[in-house]
């Protein structure tokens, strides 16, 4: 109960009035009034349908919404007898909302949900993103059932995605996490996942929440904590993940949140990954991943330009991070025409490993190292697009698999440069 102090008295009072629960669903929000109503109703439908006899609660951790999101969550609570409700629950299903800060912070939102889960002694908890417009009641049981009945500690999602969606996951986070920890976890950074009370409590107690790196990217830190603690991890196929439109400016914050968190966790978890070779599948309900192939407009010229400009302009920065041979190879790629452009998988793996080692050694500001990786990632993304432009779903999967194997093959190089080398 060490974490009580950061929760407000009002929130604590509401939690105490709920008592203990079996199932808890946490929804972190910030100005999600448009979608939150249907999300909460779907969660309620999932609980009433699949966990009718269990004691359950919905916790909303809000980051200072100004569009009435928390009020919508609270209003959706199912009482003993709710007139006009379409759902008939055997038990009450409280929905509690708390504002943890005046601005959104994923880490603090997760911390609030974990603390609530610990106080309510929840056996199984799920975190659901308020942007999940494709959410169905089945998602809830797919995530929670393995934790509640099959003693899994962490259940991560797998999705049917567009082949070019989640390109940072397919080209860096998945291959690198797999090569480091030897587990084929498709979505190490998940916005929908379920976990056991004991894993939640352990992460709540052990994560250094006062550190910026621990708060940023807490979702991936949570996955890595489960791997490091040798908890039972599984995956559940949830269905289609909707395509979220992003702009080029979103890349650096996304990299800070995920790649920064992955790099920073390598130091404390060194003993968990240094001896691992190869990779093993983890228990998965449904297929591991599916791809859709509909056409997507992508400005390839712009990606190439940003890569080439980055390589040319950031040369003094890369000299502190990359080996001479890697930098020379990147410079020769940057000179290639768009049709001949190719950033090979082995060079990409080598680049990422050199960045990880530079991050470990803090050769320059760590945040600058992450920012410097963004233009190179654009180059790799362009190659991935070109390689899979006309490929089938199986071809895309094979391409990702061969990249993963390249990361695994290059792992001794990472170990070599981690404590010495170039």
Nearer to another protein, 168 or 327 (CB): 168
Binding residues for another protein, rule CB under 8 A, total 44
Binding pattern for the stretch 159-198 against another protein, x by CB under 8 A and - elsewhere: -----xxxxxx-------------------x---------
Query: Cα(154)–Cα(151) distance, rounded to whole angstroms?
Result: 9
DSSP SS3 for 78: strand
Least CB distance from residue 302 to another protein, whole Å?
Answer: 6
Site string for another protein, 382-401 (x = CB under 8 A): ---x----------------
Residues 220-249 that bind another protein (CB under 8 A): 243-249
Q: Rule CB under 8 A: choose which of 296, 392, 416, 421 binds another protein.
A: 296
The beta-carbon contacts of 323-332 under 8 Å, at least 24 apart in sequence, are: 323/354, 323/417, 323/422, 324/422, 326/350, 326/351, 326/354, 330/376, 330/379
Site for another protein in 245-274 (CB under 8 A): 245-252, 254-255, 258
Q: What residues contact residue 126 under an 8 Å CB cut-off, 6+ apart?
A: 23, 24, 25, 26, 140, 143, 144, 192, 193, 194, 195
> Segment 56-115, which members bind another protein (CB under 8 A)?
none
Pairing mode, if any, of strands 124-127 and 23-29? Answer: parallel
Measured distance CA(115)–CA(110) in Å, rounded: 9
* Contact indicator for 132, 146 with CB cutoff of 8 Å: no
Interaction of residue 294 with another protein, rule CB under 8 A = no
CA–CA gap between residue 26 and residue 33 (Å, rounded) = 16
Of 52-60, 139-147, 200-208, 297-305, the window that binds another protein (rule: CB under 8 A) is 297-305
Query: Per rule CB under 8 A, is residue 368 in the interface with another protein?
Result: yes
Q: Would you say 58 or 381 has its CB closer to another protein?
A: 381
Nearest partner of 182 among 417, 405, 416, judged by Cα:
405
Q: Tell me: does residue 157 bind another protein (CB under 8 A).
A: no
| Binding region for another protein (CB under 8 A) | 164-169, 189, 243-252, 254-255, 258, 296-299, 302-303, 305-306, 309-310, 313-314, 317, 320, 363-365, 368, 371-372, 374-375, 381, 385
């Amino acid at each position: 109960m060490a974490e009580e102090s950061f929760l407000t008295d009002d929130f604590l009072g509401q939690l105490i009035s709920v008592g203990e629960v079996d199932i808890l669903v946490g929804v972190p929000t910030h100005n999600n009034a448009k979608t939150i109503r249907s999300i909460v109703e779907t969660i309620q439908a999932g609980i009433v349908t699949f966990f009718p006899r269990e004691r359950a609660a919905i916790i909303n951790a809000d980051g200072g919404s100004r569009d009435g999101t928390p009020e919508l969550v609270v209003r959706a609570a199912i009482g003993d007898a709710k007139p006009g409700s379409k759902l008939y629950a055997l038990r009450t299903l409280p929905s509690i909302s708390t504002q943890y800060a005046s601005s959104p912070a994923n880490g603090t939102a997760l911390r609030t949900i974990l603390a609530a889960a610990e106080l309510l002694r929840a056996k199984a908890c799920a975190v659901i993103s308020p942007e999940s417009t494709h959410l169905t009641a089945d998602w809830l049981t797919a995530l929670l059932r393995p934790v509640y009945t099959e003693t899994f500690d962490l259940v991560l999602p797998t999705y049917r995605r567009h082949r070019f969606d989640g390109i940072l996951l397919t080209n860096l986070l998945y291959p690198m996490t797999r090569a480091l920890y030897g587990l084929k976890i498709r979505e190490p950074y998940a916005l929908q996942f379920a976990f056991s009370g004991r894993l939640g409590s352990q992460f709540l107690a052990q994560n250094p929440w006062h550190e910026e790196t621990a708060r940023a990217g807490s979702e991936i830190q949570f996955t890595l904590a489960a791997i490091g603690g040798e908890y039972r991890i599984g995956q559940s196929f949830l269905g289609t993940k909707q395509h979220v439109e992003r702009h080029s400016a979103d890349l650096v914050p996304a990299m800070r949140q995920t790649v920064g968190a992955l790099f920073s966790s390598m130091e404390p978890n060194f003993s968990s990954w240094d001896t691992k070779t190869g990779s093993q599948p983890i228990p998965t309900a449904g297929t591991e991943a599916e791809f859709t192939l509909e056409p997507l407009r992508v400005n390839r010229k712009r990606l190439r330009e940003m890569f080439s400009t980055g390589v040319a302009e950031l040369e003094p920065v890369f000299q502190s991070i990359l080996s001479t041979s890697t930098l020379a190879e990147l410079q020769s790629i940057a000179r290639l025409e768009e049709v001949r452009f190719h950033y090979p998988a082995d060079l990409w793996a080598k680049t990422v490993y050199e960045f990880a080692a530079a991050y470990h050694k803090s050769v320059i500001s760590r945040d600058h190292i992450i920012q410097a990786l963004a233009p190179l990632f654009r180059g790799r993304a362009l190659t991935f697009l070109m390689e899979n432009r006309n490929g089938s779903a199986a071809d895309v999967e094979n391409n990702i698999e061969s990249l993963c194997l390249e990361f695994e093959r290059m792992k001794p190089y990472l170990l070599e440069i981690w404590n010495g080398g170039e």
